[in-house]
Amino acid sequence: MNTEVLEELIEYKFAPGPLLAVQGLVNTYSYEDGVELLPDSEAAASWLQEAGLIVPGTRLSGEDLEEILELRRALRDLLYANHGEEMAPDTTEKMRRLAKEHPIDFVIDQDGKIALDLEPAESAGELIAQVIGIIAQSQDRDEWKRLKICPAEDCRWAFYDRSKNQGGTWCRMEVCGNRNKNRKYRSKDD
């Protein structure tokens, strides 16, 4: 994982360790300006390689890209649920199917210690498995519920809530939070 590239994309409120890769993948579409970093297979492979998520030279088919985008949509839905929003009914089933089709790889060191394989993936399937493994690991570490989606309709940026009570709402209070407060204030005058 290329932390520098992912942090440049995300800009602020970074998730820890491998969860940063999930946050980066979710943020490959910007609702604020409509920029899609994964518009086609070639561009997606290029971005995923630059982010250190897949091995250089890995090619993605149209089906691979569609599956990665399906994962991204499901991840966004899961992150909305972390914010207390209702999850789409088919999200759990999509995640189950993806997990079943793409088993998670582990590495075992000389001492028998088992860990999630976090080396750059050699295929879209390995990347999907790795992302699902990172989610499972972050849930065990009690980090997952802190990764959220900004509820501002014109933002929807994934951010990591580091607040003590895990009550963070906005990706940036000074931008999205203030916009929301101003809208509410103006609506009172109407």
**Domains (ranges, CATH) in the chain?**
3-189 (1.10.3300.10)
Alpha helices in 11-61 (DSSP H): 19-26, 41-50
The residue type found at 175 is: V
Residue 148 backbone dihedrals phi, psi, to 5 degrees: -135, 170
- Look at 86 and 118; give whichever has higher pLDDT: 118
Residue where the block lists tokens 């800009």:
11
- For 32-45, what is the mean pLDDT? 95
Residue 185: band (very low, low, confident or very high) from pLDDT cuts 50, 70, 90? very low
Amino acid (1-letter code) at residue 54: I
At 113-125, the pLDDT tens digits run 999 999 999 999 9
Alpha carbon 163 to its chain centroid, in Å, reads 19
Segment 43-72 mean pLDDT = 97
How far apart, in whole angstroms, are the C-alpha atoms of residue 173 and residue 186?
18
In this predicted model, what pLDDT tens digit does every residue of 161-172 receive, in sequence order?
Answer: 998 888 887 777
Q: How far apart are alpha carbons 104 and 90 in whole angstroms?
A: 22
Give the three-class secondary structure for 118: coil
pTM metric for this prediction: 0.88
